[in-house]
Amino acid sequence: MSLAKLKQRVAELADLGAAVHLLHWDLETYMPPGAVGDRASQLALLGRMEHELFVADEVGEWLDAAARELEGQPADADDVRAVAVTRRDWVRARRVPAAWVEEFARLGSLAQHAWREARAGAGFGHFRGHLERLVAARRAYAEFFAPYESVYDPLLEDYEPGMTAARIRAIFGELRPVLVALVAEIRARGQPVDAACLEGDFDEAAQEAFGLFVLRRMGFDFEHGRQDRSTHPFTSPLSPGDVRITTRFDRKLLSSALFSSMHEGGHALYEQGIAAEYARGALGRASSLGLHESQSRLWENVVGRSRGFWSHFYPELQARFPALDAVPLETFHRAINRVEPSLIRVEADEVTYNLHVMLRADLELALMGDELAVADLPAAWNDRMREYLGIVPPDDARGVLQDIHWSGGSFGYFPTYCLGNLAAVQIWDAAVRADPELPQAIARGELGRLREWLAANVHRYGRKYDPDELLRRATGRPVEAGPYVAYLRTKYGELYGL
Amino acid sequence: MSLAKLKQRVAELADLGAAVHLLHWDLETYMPPGAVGDRASQLALLGRMEHELFVADEVGEWLDAAARELEGQPADADDVRAVAVTRRDWVRARRVPAAWVEEFARLGSLAQHAWREARAGAGFGHFRGHLERLVAARRAYAEFFAPYESVYDPLLEDYEPGMTAARIRAIFGELRPVLVALVAEIRARGQPVDAACLEGDFDEAAQEAFGLFVLRRMGFDFEHGRQDRSTHPFTSPLSPGDVRITTRFDRKLLSSALFSSMHEGGHALYEQGIAAEYARGALGRASSLGLHESQSRLWENVVGRSRGFWSHFYPELQARFPALDAVPLETFHRAINRVEPSLIRVEADEVTYNLHVMLRADLELALMGDELAVADLPAAWNDRMREYLGIVPPDDARGVLQDIHWSGGSFGYFPTYCLGNLAAVQIWDAAVRADPELPQAIARGELGRLREWLAANVHRYGRKYDPDELLRRATGRPVEAGPYVAYLRTKYGELYGL
């Protein structure tokens, strides 16, 4: 009875959450520009309603009673897990006072505005005070979850349950020197890759058609999803029956929309693959941001930048873009895997990308741990860029100001990008161990075989297991750097003849 | 203080209403088909939340206290009117038990499903039981507002405050014989109009571009609105900064998208013209459905089917559709004003359209007044079609089953279409009295002059005045049939040489 009431409330929260997703999706896709103020107040209201509906006292009573109703059931039963994850969320949500949530939202919206101005020319000084207030607010947030080992732990927990600063330091500490050395080796090899074939003038409609063609082959379900355009690509899982992705087209750069579609498509397959019986329930979401990213990066990079994939799909691409007729597959494959230190994270290649992320994680840890003042952040950024990538941004817009995350106070988010890359390779390796013919199937254009394995071993479980547990079940191991290092060494060793 | 609290709640209701609008808009435009079940539960939840937020006891307390705070202010002050209309809505909403609302929504969703099947071939019998239950539910609804003069009055009040069955009977009673006679006269004249120029193959992109061109000239603000596509065109006023319209394109029929864009554009100009200070407030909506329709029909028909309008815009249209090069303006103008009894309301011309509406109003009055059984509805429909228009539908799909309204239990809605047509002409006449050069300005393509007059005399007031009062202020008279009859007599007398 209480379990039923609890499930009803969780379903209502899912429905309300769908409306919030739609408001956000629309904001980034079709909303007329003059509606931005109206939309902010709509989002604030629905966000508040979601919070109030969830933290209500009666939810706590239902949680207690539901746990009693489920006594004797196995710890692994869906209902037992659903009650457990709901309780964890509820306890965490109740620890945060409404006044803090409101003030943080206010700070964030002011900071985001200042950040845009700072990036557009006003400079870091214009943003500094806002960032200081956000760091202070996030420290205060961490206190709600005291005691903790690291002040960064409660922040990580929101995005990646079970992850800690200590584990991040250990994993990144293992990965960092390998990547720095690999970048240096590739540089020293002195074989610059020619990526000219990706540049030119590529019809947008043809780009879109090819992207949709690949998404269909991946198994994206257009009956229960769609693709639109936005400045920054994203995935919006409104509901089990409505998972939307966006992409952007660059007429001058063929690879932009293509890999963005595969990336978001990977996110979408995760959402579409969650067990149907979890719909509108506590388990009907992804396990973590890191695991979500593992799915996008698996499709974008491990599959989408592999030679096998293109041995089937390159002729399809050439048929749509005659300019590629004269470009051999090898040249194209090298071009989409060019390694080159660059300034902007979202444009970085598979090897350097994680260094961008680690740099941010280092700085977040230092900021939150009070080892670095916000005023010293630009210099610290540039120092690390030199150390990790051997280049220094000519200005803060292409340096410390490039990402939106900090302007919303989202510290603890960046590490999940790197964890996702690591998990992508671990999961791929497990899939190939289970089905050694998988690479050959992909080389024949049969992508459904991988999607089905992922659905059965990762997607379907939704939030039933925490990321560590889910990864252990799927691959035998928690997230770790080794497999990723081996993958990079093999792939780029071959490509660059190291 | 209580007034401030009341305004805050009304603003929240506006924000929540915007989310509901977006969920509906998306349902009709971009939502993937497989999401229809998810969307239904999202809409049900937000509808329930809206209702609960509004009918709460504290709103009644704030209403009482706010009225005291406003004592001594003129009856015409915005705040006084805002409290008055909110009280009226609140009292009405509180009279309807939540159980009735829930049951009615359930009946409606079952009925709509059955109606679609009935129309697709299962026949009226498949829908009959559902309609009987909806009629009974609506009679029960009327009882919540007893005593009443006519059981139809409480239904009308929801759509057209102040309107009554007695007035509808009087106005329609005056209009009906004139229209029936006019249709007969036109038929008897035996001069069939050649509308072949509207048929052919018209590029959709060019149709869309011309529609957007006209909308811009009307003054539609694309910074705060947009146009998309849907099966059935509609206007969705999400918020003051976000008014959306949809249209549909028929490659084979040029007039379809064009007049649909002008029609919805007229609705949108109303919403965009409401005083900025009413935003998110109780007065920040249109006065009634009938007045809303007056604005759409004014632009679609009184302006959009006038010779003056096309003397400027026809060359623009010809430039985009070379097939019209050989078609003289007179031929085109006659084609878009062809009068011909037809089966489908939404495709009917300016003269016969109101007869379609009156037929429905007659039947609704008879159903609600228990003078007609649902079982006898198809025969009654066909009898009236013969009487009013001289034709009889070959099947119920093109007869009694053609409109969606009854399947949702929306009795009392149809009359507002006719009232809108009447008011459109009254308002146009008043605008020309105030600015006799208006027709010449329109013939020069200067549509902004009319829009500005409408904004200043109708739009800006939002819900401050009930439709009768607003129309009296704008035109000197309540809604009446005379001006419309005169308008038709003049226009169609000329066109058909009567």
Q: How many angstroms separate the CA of residue A298 from the nearest CA in chain B?
A: 26
- The amino acid that residue A184 corresponds to is A
Question: Running DSSP on this structure, what letter comes out for residue B390?
Answer: S
Is the link from the previous residue into B147 a cis peptide, with omega within 30 of 0?
yes
pLDDT in tens, A275-313: 999 999 999 999 999 999 999 999 999 999 999 999 999
Domain co-membership, A105 together with A171: no
Exposed / middle / buried, residue B236 (Cβ in 10 Å: 0-12, 13-18, 19+): buried
pLDDT in tens, B55-70: 999 999 999 999 999 9
Report the run of H or E that residue B324 belongs to, with start and end: none
Q: If you search the block for the tokens 């050959």, which residue do you land on?
A: A440
Domain stops at, among A113, A147, A181: A147
With contact defined as beta carbons under 8 Å apart, do B310 and B263 qualify? Answer: no
Q: What gap in Å lies between CA B265 and CA B221, rounded to an integer?
A: 10
Strand A235-239 and strand B242-247: the pairing is unpaired
Q: What is the predicted pLDDT for the residue at B492?
A: 96
Residues 6+ apart with CB under 8 A from A412: A152, A155, A156, A158, A159, A160, A364
Active-site positions of B read 264
| Helix ranges restricted to H, A201-328 | 204-218, 254-273, 289-297, 307-320
Question: Running DSSP on this structure, what letter comes out for residue A6?
Answer: H
Strand B242-247 and strand B235-239: the pairing is antiparallel
* Length reported for chain B: 498
Q: What is the predicted pLDDT for the residue at A87?
A: 98
Chain A residues closer than 8 Å to B8 by CB: none
CB atoms near residue A398 (< 10 Å): 15
Q: Is B227 helix (H, G, I), strand (E, B) or coil?
A: strand
Domain co-membership, B141 together with B169: no
Domain stops at, among B150, B180, B215: B150
Q: What gap in Å lies between CA B445 and CA B311, rounded to an integer?
A: 9
**Which of B296, B266, B287, B295 shows the shortest CA–CA distance to B467?**
B287
Partner-chain contact A32 B241, CB within 8 Å: yes
Q: What gap in Å lies between CA B134 and CA B409, rounded to an integer?
A: 6
Q: What gap in Å lies between CA B176 and CA A449, rounded to an integer?
A: 68
- The amino acid that residue A58 corresponds to is E
Q: List the catalytic residue out of A28, A132, A174, A264.
A: A264
Instruction: Check whether B190 has a pLDDT greater than 90.
Output: no
CB atoms near residue A55 (< 10 Å): 18
pLDDT in tens, A368-387: 999 999 999 999 999 999 99
Domain co-membership, A260 together with A129: no
Tokens of A442: 């992909």
Nearest to B22 among A26, A32, A33 (CB): A26
Domain co-membership, B142 together with B282: no
Chain B residues closer than 8 Å to A36 by CB: 241
pLDDT in tens, B84-142: 999 999 999 999 998 898 899 889 989 999 999 999 999 999 999 999 999 999 999 99
Partner-chain contact B19 A15, CB within 8 Å: no
Tokens of B391: 């034709």
**Which of A257, A263, A258 shows the shortest CA–CA distance to A293?**
A263
CB atoms near residue B257 (< 10 Å): 22
Instruction: Check whether B498 has a pLDDT greater than 90.
Output: no
Q: What gap in Å lies between CA B188 and CA B368, rounded to an integer?
A: 36
Domain co-membership, B105 together with B37: yes
Report the run of H or E that residue B23 belongs to, with start and end: helix B2-29
pLDDT in tens, A246-271: 999 999 999 999 999 999 999 999 99
Domain co-membership, A122 together with A155: no
Q: Is B245 helix (H, G, I), strand (E, B) or coil?
A: strand
Q: If you search the block for the tokens 């549509």, which residue do you land on?
A: B447
Q: If you search the block for the tokens 């409660």, which residue do you land on?
A: A154
With contact defined as beta carbons under 8 Å apart, do A272 and A400 qualify? Answer: no
Q: How many angstroms separate the CA of residue A29 from the nearest CA in chain B?
A: 11
CA distances from residue B86 to A51, B93, B327, B463 in whole angstroms, order as listed:
28, 10, 54, 10
Partner-chain contact A19 B224, CB within 8 Å: no
Is the link from the previous residue into A147 a cis peptide, with omega within 30 of 0?
yes
User: Taking the CA atoms of chain B, what radius of gyration do you get in angstroms?
Assistant: 23
For chain B, the domain total comes to: 2
Q: If you search the block for the tokens 């120029």, which residue do you land on?
A: B197
| Helix ranges restricted to H, B190-288 | 204-218, 254-273
Domain containing residue A31: 2-147
With contact defined as beta carbons under 8 Å apart, do A160 and A289 qualify? Answer: yes
Q: Is B463 helix (H, G, I), strand (E, B) or coil?
A: coil
Partner-chain contact B12 A45, CB within 8 Å: yes
Partner-chain contact A23 B22, CB within 8 Å: yes
Instruction: Find the farthest-apart pair of alpha carbons in chain A and give their distance in angstroms, rounded.
Output: 69
CATH code, A260: 1.10.1370.30
Q: What gap in Å lies between CA A474 and CA A431, rounded to an integer?
A: 8
Question: For the packed helices B78-95 and B36-55, what is the interaxial angle rounded to 10 degrees?
Answer: 110
Nearest to B224 among A35, A49, A224 (CB): A35
Tell me the DSSP string of A405-441. GGGGT-TTSHHHHHHHHHHHHHHHHHHHHH-TTHHHH
Torsion angle in degrees (nearest 10) through CA of B197, B199, B203, B206: 50
Nearest to B35 among A15, A42, A241 (CB): A241
Domain co-membership, A440 together with A460: yes
Q: How many angstroms separate the CA of residue B253 from the nearest CA in chain A?
A: 27
Tokens of A116: 């845009």
Chain A residues closer than 8 Å to B242 by CB: 31-32, 34-35, 38-39
The pLDDT-based confidence of B312 (bands split at 50, 70, 90) is: very high
Q: What is the predicted pLDDT for the residue at A455?
A: 98
CATH code, B90: 1.20.58
CB atoms near residue B25 (< 10 Å): 24
With contact defined as beta carbons under 8 Å apart, do A118 and A127 qualify? Answer: yes
Tokens of B134: 């909806």
Its sign, for the CA torsion B403, B404, B406, B411, is negative
A237: closest chain B residue by CA: B35
Q: Best residue in B242, B244, B274, B280 to probe A by mutation, most A CBs within 10 Å?
A: B242
Report the run of H or E that residue A228 belongs to, with start and end: strand A225-229
User: Any bridge partners for residue B226, and if so which?
Assistant: B244
Question: How remote is the C-alpha of B134 from its chain's centroid?
Answer: 22
Torsion angle in degrees (nearest 10) through CA of B160, B161, B162, B163: 20
* Length reported for chain A: 498
Question: How remote is the C-alpha of B93 from its chain's centroid?
Answer: 22
Domain co-membership, A154 together with A137: no
Q: If you search the block for the tokens 């691959």, which residue do you land on?
A: A475
Tokens of B440: 């010449």
Tokens of B478: 């309540």
| Helix ranges restricted to H, B96-152 | 98-117, 125-143
Q: Is B303 helix (H, G, I), strand (E, B) or coil?
A: helix
Partner-chain contact A38 B238, CB within 8 Å: yes
Question: How remote is the C-alpha of A208 from its chain's centroid?
Answer: 23
Q: If you search the block for the tokens 């030679």, which residue do you land on?
A: A307
A433: left (phi over 0), alpha (psi -120 to 50) or beta: alpha
Domain co-membership, B77 together with B56: yes
Arithmetic mean of pLDDT, B239-254: 96
User: Any bridge partners for residue B229, and if so which?
Assistant: B247
ipTM of the complex: 0.95
Partner-chain contact A240 B31, CB within 8 Å: no
Q: What gap in Å lies between CA A478 and CA A427, rounded to an integer?
A: 11
Tokens of A32: 């007329």
Q: Is B160 helix (H, G, I), strand (E, B) or coil?
A: coil
Residues 6+ apart with CB under 8 A from A445: A217, A312, A313
Q: What gap in Å lies between CA B26 and CA A149, rounded to an integer?
A: 46
Domain co-membership, B92 together with B23: yes
Partner-chain contact B241 A18, CB within 8 Å: no
Instruction: Check whether B448 has a pLDDT greater than 90.
Output: yes
Domain co-membership, A298 together with A153: yes
Domain co-membership, A161 together with A12: no
Q: What gap in Å lies between CA A274 and CA A343, rounded to an integer?
A: 36
Q: What is the predicted pLDDT for the residue at A55?
A: 96
Arithmetic mean of pLDDT, B360-386: 97
Residues of chain A with pLDDT under 50: none
With contact defined as beta carbons under 8 Å apart, do B431 and B454 qualify? Answer: yes
CA angle B490–B496–B498, rounded 5-degree value: 65
Q: What gap in Å lies between CA A451 and CA A219, rounded to an integer?
A: 7
Arithmetic mean of pLDDT, B258-267: 97
Domain stops at, among B150, B171, B187: B150
Q: What gap in Å lies between CA B244 and CA B232, rounded to an integer?
A: 14
Chain B residues closer than 8 Å to A224 by CB: 32, 34-35
Q: What gap in Å lies between CA B75 and CA A179, rounded to an integer?
A: 75
How far the first Cα of chain B sits from its last, in Å, is 64
Q: What gap in Å lies between CA A123 and CA B290, rounded to an integer?
A: 54
